[in-house]
Amino acid sequence: MIRAFAGTFGRLPFAAKIAGRFLGDPMLLLGGKPLVGWQTVFTLPFRRMALVSDNATAEAVMLDRAGKFPKSTVLHALLKPLIGEGVFGQPGGDTVKETRRVLARALAAIPPAHIAEVTRTLTQEYMDGWLARKGAPAPVGVDLSRLTVDVVSVCTMGRRFTAEESQRFTDLFSIYHQRAKATLLLLAHADEATRARIIHELGLEEIGAEMRALMRERFLSAPLGRDGDEAIFSRALADAGYAAPGHDERALDEIAVMLLAGHETTASTLSWLCHVLAGDSALQDAAAQAVAAAPGTQVADDKSARFAGATGEDVLSALTQEALRLYPPIGFFLRENKEEVALENRTLPKDNFIVVAPRVLHRHRAYWKKPDTFWPERWLETPELPARTAFIPFGMGARVCPGAQFANIEMAEITRLLLTRLRFGLTAGAEPLPLGNLTSRPEPDIVLTVTPRAAPASSAQRS
Ligand code: HEM
């Protein structure tokens, strides 16, 4: 099917745009085949693409010890209007290592208790807003995006957008995201001019420019590094030389990386989790009961109780892990091979695409029992992973997420508060699907009814 596009496609961005309407989510093209196989090679109009799931090849690509599997330039082209030369879109090399060090050190310097406290305070605000609707549908997905932008910006830069700005910022990103179809760039010719025309026709430049203006106004209006103690990341950027005259745009690039990588992923995971909980009230109640107990208390070891023997912390972790497994926010790691790669039955010549896909690995039939079922108990019963690459929501190796610890603290805290205080219910409307462009955020956005949860069950039910 893909090969059939080669003739009609050529270098025409307009044709690419039309095709992109139908080719948004690459997973839909794959028809489930990779969920049982280990290596699949696709012939695209101008290049080949190997999707690799076997542990040895996937690990070699992700660890990338010799710098032979840089991030694809497709990602750079797609994100440039928004993050400029920010690290997330860069293929690799020494500059990436240096910038990653700045980001990782700044994130490691934020005390976990501070992340938890900021998360708690901000989450209460959004929950108040939902409850004020008295059971009328609440924009839970959109608000989780705003909440997670607020958390990451307060924790790293000591300030946040106003309510209007954060609404606009997340609306714009939602549009950016819908339009940023990597599939188009994979199918089109890789020359600069063709790519630039595709990006232009998708209208990404206008959206990126408006988002950058919002970030510039809010986070660069005072000179970098002059904020208070809480602006750990702003100071780290200043210390690394981004405060020098003329460096503002580069500083903005990395601020954009921090805000975007640091919010969309957590928001997508939590949106899916809320949707799943809303659709399964027994699970929601059992989880609420487990997390309402004092820290470290185990759910009574009674066979009829879901999560028997687990603590509230275990349950929170199992819920978020399972959401990350079924709906990994970054579903595909798109790399290029700078050297020929030996696959099982053939070779992939150099300068093609090579993909490791959490969206495939996390549901692979050889790795997981009940692969398509949301079953948090799997994390309580069998913590042993079948292979190192079987579960990699935060990536691994050279480009592993530096915000994983931050994200886990934040997601556990938000989930705990939501479960303790609220009850979610589904609303009428289309069943969401993972968008599959830049991330797997649900499309359409999650809208739920939100009502107060009754007081927690009596302590007699606990051991
Ligand atoms: C559920 C939440 C999150 C998930 C699943 C996630 C996942 C990922 C993954 C998979 C990558 C690497 C992509 C690749 O190898 O191509 C990445 C990169 C990154 N993440 Fe996260 N992330 C999350 C939350 C966060 C948070 C909260 C922050 C910051 C506060 C953050 C900051 C970053 C940064 C700065 C990068 C870029 C690193 C680079 O370019 O080398 N992430 N994330």
Dump pLDDT digits (tens) for 396-453.
999 999 999 999 999 999 999 999 999 999 999 889 998 878 889 999 999 999 999 9
Query: How far does residue 301's CA lie from ligand 1's centre (Å)?
Result: 37
Whole-number Å distance, alpha carbon 262 to ligand 1 midpoint, is: 7
Q: pLDDT tens digits, residue range 97-136?
A: 999 999 999 999 999 999 999 999 999 999 999 999 999 9
Report whether pLDDT(302) > 80: no
Q: What is the pLDDT of residue 462?
A: 40
* Site to substitute for ligand 1 among 265, 274, 316, 440, most atoms within 8 A of C-beta: 265
Q: Are 204 and 78 in contact (CB under 8 A)?
A: yes
Average pLDDT of the segment spanning 15-24 = 47
Token couple for 12:
């025409």
- 153: CB partners within 8 A, 6+ apart: 159, 160, 161, 218, 219, 259
User: Which ligand 1 atom is nearest residue 411's CA?
Assistant: 1
- The band of 25, judged by pLDDT with boundaries at 50, 70 and 90, is low
Confidence at residue 289, expressed as pLDDT on a 0 to 100 scale? 93
Ligand 1 geometric centre to CA of 349 (Å): 29
Atom 43, ligand 1: residue with shortest CA distance: 401
Q: How many Å separate Cα 171 from the centre of its chain?
A: 17
pLDDT per residue over 50-109, tens digit each? 999 999 999 999 999 999 999 999 999 999 999 999 999 999 999 999 999 999 999 999
pLDDT at 456 over 80: no
What is the distance of C-alpha 279 from the center of its chain?
A: 22
pLDDT band, residue 383 (cuts 50/70/90): low
Compute the distance from residue 47 Cα to the ligand 1 centre, in Å.
28
- 139 vs 248, residue with greater confidence: 139
Tell which atom from ligand 1 comes closest to the C-alpha of 90. 40
pLDDT given for residue 334 in this prediction: 96
> Ligand 1 pocket: which residues have CB below 6 Å?
71, 87-88, 100, 103, 107, 152, 257-258, 261-262, 265-266, 269, 324, 329-330, 333, 393-395, 399, 401-403, 406-407
> What spacing in Å lies between the alpha carbon of 2 and ligand 1's midpoint?
30
Instruction: For residue 395, give the ligand 1 atom closest to its CA.
Output: 10
Tell me what pLDDT residue 436 has: 77
Residue 39 backbone dihedrals phi, psi, to 5 degrees? -145, 130
Spacing, Cα 306 to ligand 1 middle (Å): 32
What proportion of the chain, given as a percentage, has pLDDT over 70? 90
CATH superfamily of 5-461: Cytochrome P450 (1.10.630.10)
If you take atom 1 of ligand 1, which residue's CA is the nearest one?
266
* pLDDT, tens digit (0-9, with 9 covering 90-100), for 308-341: 899 999 999 999 999 999 999 999 999 999 999 9
Nearest CA to ligand 1 atom 3: 265
Question: Is the pLDDT assigned to residue 2 strictly greater than 50?
Answer: no
Distance 333 CA to ligand 1 centre (A): 12
Q: What is the pLDDT of residue 6?
A: 36
> How confident is the model at residue 4, as a pLDDT?
35
